[in-house]
Structure 1
Amino acid sequence: MSDLLKSVHGTPYWMAPEVINDTGYGRKSDIWSVGCTVFEMATRNPPLAHMDKMAALFYIGAQRGEMPTLPDGFSDNAKDFVKFCLTK
């Protein structure tokens, strides 16, 4: 794997765990980013926007907590889509 694929790129709120933990990125991290984008399009804020950027990085990187879900009012299909995209 090239060094470019293992370098950290991205904006904290949209970064996948494997990117934060410097284990490379690929399709899985792209799917994570799609989930973050859909979440933001639906709520006007990225997941974990209530946290400081560094706190969000540690939260995602530690993989200890669940990511937020879409609020009530969205279809079950939409909620499931975002949930599956943001599953570590």
Structure 2
Amino acid sequence: MLMPTGSVHGTPYWMAPEVINETGYGRKSDIWSVGCTVFEMATGKPPLAHMDKMAALFYIGAQRGSMPSLPDVFAPNAVDFVTVCLTR
């Protein structure tokens, strides 16, 4: 099935703010998704997994709160990498 151009697609926990707000998609969105994927690979859960999917969608889209970081048990470079990827 073909999706209409400009429609929002994706899984809420991995969606970048600009995708949620329909303001564009590009490299920044991909970097955001990589950060979410690395976060999940490290912790076993995506960022904001403690929230309902729709709550996470609104939280990310509102661009008000900060995203969770990796726990300090991970290498500082890994923590920095995820933090940079998940910076709005």
User: Which TM-score band applies after superposition, normalised by the shorter structure?
Assistant: over 0.9
How far, CA to CA, are the matches of 1:7 and 1:35 in structure 2? Answer: 23
Unpaired runs of 5+ residues, structure 1, are: none
1:49 aligns to what? 49
1:18 aligns to what? 18
Between the aligned residues of both structures, percent identity stands at 82
How far, CA to CA, are the matches of 1:81 and 1:7 in structure 2? Answer: 30
Measured after TM superposition, the shift of residue 24 of structure 1 is: 1.6
How far, CA to CA, are the matches of 1:78 and 1:18 in structure 2? Answer: 24
SS in 1 for 2:48: coil
Task: Give, as a single letter, the amino acid of the residue that structure 2 aligns with 1:20.
Answer: I
Q: Decide whether the 8 Å contact of 1:17 with 1:61 is kept in 2.
A: yes
After superposition, where does 1:23-34 map in structure 2 within 5 Å? 23-34=23-34
Unpaired runs of 5+ residues, structure 2, are: none
How far, CA to CA, are the matches of 1:79 and 1:13 in structure 2? Answer: 18
SS in 1 for 2:13: helix
Q: Decide whether the 8 Å contact of 1:40 with 1:47 is kept in 2.
A: yes
How far, CA to CA, are the matches of 1:69 and 1:29 in structure 2? Answer: 18
1:29-60 Cα offsets, whole Å, 9 max, x none, are 00000000000000000000000000000000
Using the TM superposition, name which of 32-41 and 7-16 deviates more: 7-16
Of Structure 1 and Structure 2, the greater helix share is in 1
Task: Give, as a single letter, the amino acid of the residue that structure 1 aligns with 2:75.
Answer: S
2:58 aligns to what? 58
For the aligned residue pairs, the C-alpha RMSD in angstroms reads 1.0
Task: Give, as a single letter, the amino acid of the residue that structure 2 aligns with 1:43.
Answer: T
